[in-house]
Structure 1
Amino acid sequence: MLDDSLKTQLAAYLQRVTQPVELVASLDEREASAEMRELLSEIAELSPLITARFDGLDPRRPSFSISRAGADMGVRFAAIPMGHEFTSLVLALLQAGGHPPKLEAEVIEQIRSLEGDFAFETYMSLTCHNCPDVVQALNLMAVLNPRIRHVAIDGGLFQDEVEQRRIMAVPMVFLNGQPFGSGRMEVHDILAKIDTGAAARDAAKLATKPVFEVLIVGGGPAGAAAAVYAARKGIRTGIVGERMGGQTLDTLGIENYISVLETQGPKFAAALEAHARAYGVDLMNGQRVAQLDAPASGPVRVRLDNGAVLQGRTVILATGARWRNVGVPGEAEYRNKGVAYCPHCDGPLYKGKRTAVIGGGNSGVEAAIDLAGIVEHVTLIEFAPQLKADAVLVEKVRSLPNVTLILNAQTTEIVGDGQKVTGLRWKDRTSGTEQLVELAGVFVQIGLVPNTEWLKGTLELSKHGEIIVDAKGATSLPGVFAAGDATTVPYKQIIIAAGDGAKAALSAFDHLIRHSAAA
């Protein structure tokens, strides 16, 4: 299972294990069980503190538990955790073996103090780059609190369960047998849903923060760059936002950030956070911003959903963007029931099925190419008369025998049977005739929408909802700057967002100097 290079790396990590760990597998006659046996045996050979047994009695087979010897830890994998989940496996081994987690002491105590019994099940795919965050968060919670159980289930390995529970997107989490949430979640997100007093405690804690000299809203490339540039000036800098990394967390491959030959979105996002932390930036994750108030004098105020108010002598808005919806009947009704936005995450769930991709730009054509290697057939629907993707991508997609291109076509409806997607209707823009394509999944790839709805009526926005900025990143409000995909700056690229973030920070610093001198 593990090549020599991977064994060497894993053996080095396992040196951090300080307490005995038991791996107990429940197996059957499937080939996957033989692979699991081989994997666990190889892991046990790499550390004298890890033992593997194959006499487990769990009804979900193949699966295996990870627990500290003599303890009852509820960590289980119903999967061969390779691919994106290999890191989840390594972290579970280390944490069960006594290696301290990288988590604030107060959050650890919050997890340990949770009352009640929590049995989590996460359906994931090994190609999903959003899934590991959820798996790792729930595994860690199960290590810290014996009343929390978690099993990570490979949807491709347990397709009967996927069909029975009508799971059409991953990660999908169940709590005590009932749907709990879908999509990327971190420890703070999960705690906010199960610890009813968490929001009030967060609000009270945030309300005590002193005034920031630069307060940044949003933690993507623009926000992170702004934070680093501001903090390097030696001024009090904070970032508030829902998640550090922004859209990069939903990006599988990054190959055009200069000096970085190639990397993956979640890894890039982790590097952004580490860089900001290295300069002492106050990171306030898991917070949704609700309102901006820039009075004629005094600090700018940022109100959060939980009621807390943060203040900054200057504010940089770097709220980014999100996937654009098609806006047709059936899209909202069948979201996560056949309508998806991440082919890397959800593509494996449609193995052997017929799918469609809406959008003929780079994202749409790349999605069609990726899906063609997994699903039975892909129908690519583009509104314009030609595909808008790069020529090399167009040439590739046209060469694939199981991809049908439909150009100059308008999607009019996503249809289903009340439980899941069964087809898609489209209209020929020349003749006006409509047709129905029978399929099981629709992947929407038609661009982005800026996350600026909460700013309407506060500062000047373009007709597309983008924050209007000048050459220095200044908005229509004094002391308020903006950067990245939420602004009118053209070409929504990571490197451009990072550059704009740095520019906005320098502009904010200049604003602080000039106003201090004037005062």
Structure 2
Amino acid sequence: MLDDSLKSQLQQYLALLRQPIQLIASLDASQTSVDMRELLESIVSLSDKVTLDTNGVDARKPSFVVARQGETQGVRFAGLPLGHEFTSLVLALLWTGGHPPKFEADVLDQIRALDGDFNFEVFMSLSCHNCPDVVQALSLMAILNPKVKTTVIEGGAFQEEVTRREIMAVPIVFLNGENFGSGRMLLEEIVGKLDTGAAARDAAKLSAKDPYEVLIVGGGPAGAAAAVYAARKGIRTGVAAERFGGQVNDTMAIENYISVLETDGPKFAAAMEAQTRAYDVDIMNLQRADAIVPASQPGGLIEVKLANGGTLKSRTVILSTGARWRNVNVPGEQEYKNKGVAYCPHCDGPLFKGKDVAVIGGGNSGVEAAIDLAGVVKHVTVIEFMPELKADAVLVKKLHSLPNVTVHTNAQTTEITGADGKVNGMRYKDRASNEEHLVPLEGVFVQIGLVPNTEWLKGTVELSKFGEIVVDAKGHTNLPGVFAAGDCTTVPYKQIVIAAGDGAKAALSAFDHLIRTPAAEKPVAVAPAEAALA
């Protein structure tokens, strides 16, 4: 189950355990149970602080609990936590064994203070790169607070339950049997949804911060590069981001970033954040900007208003809000989102094993998605609006070599159909003949490009007809002291390496602005008596 190299690494981690733990397994006669027993016995063999009890009686079999010695409650894994989730298992072992988690102390205190009955179930797939963040967050909550119960369910091992509960996207979280949320969620976000007073406290805390010299809105490659370059100038730098890493977190293979032969999005994002923190940048995650207020005078402070009611101030601002998946905007798309309509083939593809699916989009993203899905699903139908596929020739050649792929070009998607709350087909129109076609299927993956996250800037910052922030060669916008970089701008070619370069350039431009623009003097308060004599 674990090769010698992985066992050696795991043994080093288990040496960090501060207190004994036990693994309580509920097994049956299935092959997955045999594999689970082998995995658990391997773990036990690597540390004298870990014991195994195979007399568990949980209804979900196979499953096992990671608990402190002498206790029966902890984090439960139903199915094998391998693939992307092996790290989640290792962290559950360490945290249960007393190794301190690397999160802010106030967040950990928030978790311990939660009062109520919280029974979480999180469904994941082993190929999902967004799932570990959710799994690890809910695992830590169960370890820190006895009122929180967490079960991590590998969808491939419990297909009957996945079908019965109509789960068609991961990660998806249920709280006390009700849908709590889907998609990637950070620990702070989950805790914030449970702690209703957290938003107001956070807003007050943010508004009380001293002004920055450079404030970056957005934490993708452009934002991270801007933060590093600004901080290296020795100036007070902050980053307000919905999630650090941005869309990079949703990218699987990264093979064209110079000096990095190969990596994946989550690792790349984690490395960006680690480097940014190394320069003592104030990173404020889970913050969505709502408005920007220009400085009232040269050298004055620019305000960025946040969705939670807080306000941040800075002498300069760099906008690097990135972009998001573009919707196809046809009937049925919103209605069946996460019920057959999906945007991440790596995350959700395994849930459609043996089924018929479609991919809308014939660019690199769409063709790569179709190639990946073809190895999992029964059949893939590719729909491309233009007369030819727009993907690289090598990808198109690979796509056409696959026996379970059908390609329709010059085709316009008109509707995603469904019944009983989930997708059952898709309609498209042949643009040459105007003939309508209905394709029966169970999943639709939308891969038609990006739309910039700039709606909140309308009326203040100049935008192009596509909603991109208009910038010059140095990243200046139409507002003094406000710069922009990355996928949200008019700079062509939306690539990680280009965004990073633009972020560095924007930071250098912001620094140049700071040294050439004296800070505005604060107005002197006039006493009432003096005002009366004036």
With the shorter chain as reference, the TM-score category is over 0.9
SS of 1:205's equivalent in the other structure is helix
**Aligned residue in 2 for 1:344:** 346
- Residues 213 and 314 in structure 1, CA contact (< 8 A), matched pair in contact too: yes
**Aligned residue in 1 for 2:130:** 130
SS of 1:427's equivalent in the other structure is strand
SS of 1:508's equivalent in the other structure is helix
**Aligned residue in 1 for 2:416:** 414
SS of 1:242's equivalent in the other structure is coil
Q: Deviations over 1:392-434 (max 9, x none)?
A: 1001000000000111100000000141000000000000000
Say which of 313, 316, 319 aligns to 1:314. 316
**Aligned residue in 2 for 1:268:** 268
Q: Using the alignment, how far apart are the partners of 2:213 and 2:131 within structure 1? A: 36
1:252 deviates by 1.0
Q: Using the alignment, how far apart are the partners of 2:260 and 2:178 within structure 1? A: 42
1:73 deviates by 4.0
Equivalent residue letter for 1:35: D
1:110 deviates by 0.7
- Residues 423 and 437 in structure 1, CA contact (< 8 A), matched pair in contact too: yes
Q: Using the alignment, how far apart are the partners of 1:73 and 1:189 within structure 2? A: 24
Say which of 372, 375, 378 aligns to 1:373. 375
SS of 2:382's equivalent in the other structure is strand
Task: Quickly say closer, same or farther: Cα 1:411–1:12, change in 2 above 3 A.
Answer: same
1:13 deviates by 1.1
**Aligned residue in 1 for 2:90:** 90
Among the aligned pairs, what percent are the same residue? 70
- Residues 227 and 238 in structure 2, CA contact (< 8 A), matched pair in contact too: yes
RMSD over equivalenced CA pairs, Å: 1.0
- Residues 65 and 72 in structure 2, CA contact (< 8 A), matched pair in contact too: no
Q: Deviations over 1:20-72 (max 9, x none)?
A: 01001101111100000000000100111011111101001100000111345
Q: Using the alignment, how far apart are the partners of 2:73 and 2:52 within structure 1? A: 15
SS of 1:269's equivalent in the other structure is helix
**Aligned residue in 2 for 1:177:** 177
Q: Deviations over 1:152-183 (max 9, x none)?
A: 10111111111111111000000000000000
Q: Using the alignment, how far apart are the partners of 1:123 and 1:334 within structure 2? A: 19
Equivalent residue letter for 2:211: V
- Residues 249 and 266 in structure 2, CA contact (< 8 A), matched pair in contact too: yes
**Aligned residue in 2 for 1:186:** 186
Equivalent residue letter for 2:445: F
Q: Using the alignment, how far apart are the partners of 2:187 and 2:332 within structure 1? A: 32
1:207 deviates by 1.2
SS of 1:475's equivalent in the other structure is coil
Q: Using the alignment, how far apart are the partners of 1:418 and 1:158 within structure 2? A: 21
Q: How many residues align?
A: 519
TM-score (norm 1): 0.99
Say which of 440, 460, 463 aligns to 2:462. 460
Equivalent residue letter for 1:198: A
SS of 2:35's equivalent in the other structure is helix
Equivalent residue letter for 1:56: G
Equivalent residue letter for 2:154: D
Q: Using the alignment, how far apart are the partners of 2:392 and 2:314 within structure 1? A: 42
Q: Deviations over 1:221-260 (max 9, x none)?
A: 0000000000000000000011000001001111111100
1:296 deviates by 3.1
**Aligned residue in 1 for 2:216:** 216
**Aligned residue in 2 for 1:386:** 388
Q: Using the alignment, how far apart are the partners of 2:117 and 2:481 within structure 1? A: 48
**Aligned residue in 2 for 1:146:** 146
1:306 deviates by 1.0
SS of 1:443's equivalent in the other structure is strand
- 1:438 correspondence with 2:440: yes
- Residues 72 and 146 in structure 1, CA contact (< 8 A), matched pair in contact too: no
**Aligned residue in 2 for 1:427:** 429
- Residues 222 and 485 in structure 2, CA contact (< 8 A), matched pair in contact too: yes
Over alpha carbons, which structure has the higher Rg? 2
- 1:278 correspondence with 2:278: yes
- 1:205 correspondence with 2:229: no
- Residues 169 and 351 in structure 2, CA contact (< 8 A), matched pair in contact too: yes
Task: Quickly say closer, same or farther: Cα 1:365–1:465, change in 2 above 3 A.
Answer: same
Task: Quickly say closer, same or farther: Cα 1:203–1:71, change in 2 above 3 A.
Answer: farther
**Aligned residue in 1 for 2:532:** none
Q: Deviations over 1:360-388 (max 9, x none)?
A: 00000000000000000000011111111
Equivalent residue letter for 2:456: W
Equivalent residue letter for 2:413: T
Task: Quickly say closer, same or farther: Cα 1:358–1:92, change in 2 above 3 A.
Answer: same
SS of 1:449's equivalent in the other structure is strand
Q: Using the alignment, how far apart are the partners of 2:519 and 2:314 within structure 1? A: 18
- 1:510 correspondence with 2:512: yes
Equivalent residue letter for 2:351: L
Q: Using the alignment, how far apart are the partners of 1:100 and 1:296 within structure 2? A: 47
**Aligned residue in 2 for 1:233:** 233
- Residues 24 and 72 in structure 2, CA contact (< 8 A), matched pair in contact too: no
1:18 deviates by 1.3
**Aligned residue in 1 for 2:366:** 364
SS of 1:213's equivalent in the other structure is strand
